[in-house]
Amino acid sequence: MIMNEWNESGKEIIEEYDSAYFIEIADIFENSEEDLLYAEDYFHPNDRGYELIATRIYNDMDITTIGKDTLEASAKGDDDQE
């Protein structure tokens, strides 16, 4: 499966960097009853698929490394910041 090959390549590349880590997302697509792929190619995620990926990334972030205040400010967006 192409996603497995892509993930393995990504993991190998990430191992070369101290400040990077791999976030697993394959299970989002493998275990879903929702349609999460773009209808034009059935390969790329659709809006809902990207939403679930973003949620996974956000939830897997190490809040103590980044800082809770930074994450909360980022989640609010630019409209609330001056």
Q: Mind listing the pLDDT tens digit for each residue in 27-81?
A: 998 878 999 999 999 889 999 999 999 998 888 876 545 666 665 666 666 554 4
- Hey, where are the domains in the chain? 29-82
Q: Rounded to an integer, what distance in angstroms lies between the CA atom of residue 34 and that of residue 52?
A: 11
pTM of the model: 0.67
- What was the pLDDT predicted at 72? 65
Q: Which residues contact 45 (CB under 8 A, 6 or more apart)?
A: 29, 36, 37, 38, 52, 53
